[in-house]
């Protein structure tokens, strides 16, 4: 059985972006590219319609570059269970309503049984202070949440 990874929007955004002059962002871009080139083949990758929606926004040329990274990645279906879990994450104050898409990514990865959710969104997704709460809400709904991490954390040994 292969390991399943949900690819969140920030991953393809970093892959498609021009190199940043910000040292932290540039390092994240480099780590993301390295993971994509060296590690992604070790996993079954999945994404969702939420990622396609976010990735398609903005400048048409840049959006096309982002979408190109998703061309061969299966798209998970949005279902009532995922919408309900996302709503619970928002209603319990774990993810702010204004960032509902972030709750949707967590819910999609959880409901579809992903092993990992890969993201650089460390404010509302890969945030150590909310991980326990995500786990509680997910398990209350009957799901085991994925490990939420950055490409740096999924580089292997």
pLDDT digits (tens, 9 = 90+) for 67-106: 999 999 999 999 999 999 999 999 999 999 999 999 999 9
What's the whole-model pTM score?
A: 0.95
Query: So what's the architecture of 3-154 in CATH?
Result: 3-Layer(aba) Sandwich (3.40)
| pLDDT tens readout for residues 21-43 | 999 999 999 999 999 999 999 99
Looking at residue 14, its pLDDT comes to: 96
DSSP string, 88-135: HHHHTTSS-GGGHHHHHHHHHHHHTT-SEEE-S-TTTTS-HHHHHHHH
């Amino acid at each position: 059985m292969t390991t399943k990874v949900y690819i969140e929007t920030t991953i393809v955004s970093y892959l498609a972006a021009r190199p940043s002059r910000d040292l932290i962002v540039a390092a994240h871009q480099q780590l993301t590219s390295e993971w994509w080139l060296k590690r992604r083949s070790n996993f079954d990758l999945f994404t969702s319609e939420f990622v396609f929606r976010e990735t398609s926004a903005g400048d048409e040329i840049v959006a096309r570059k982002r979408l190109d990274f998703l061309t061969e990645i299966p798209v998970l279906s949005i279902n009532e269970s995922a919408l309900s879990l996302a709503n619970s994450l928002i209603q319990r104050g774990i993810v702010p309503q204004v960032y509902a898409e972030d709750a949707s990514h967590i819910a999609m990865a959880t409901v579809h049984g992903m092993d990992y959710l890969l993201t650089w969104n460390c404010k509302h997704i890969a945030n150590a202070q909310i991980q326990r709460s995500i786990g509680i809400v997910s398990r209350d709904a009957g799901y085991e949440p994925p490990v939420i991490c950055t490409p740096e954390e999924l580089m292997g040994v």
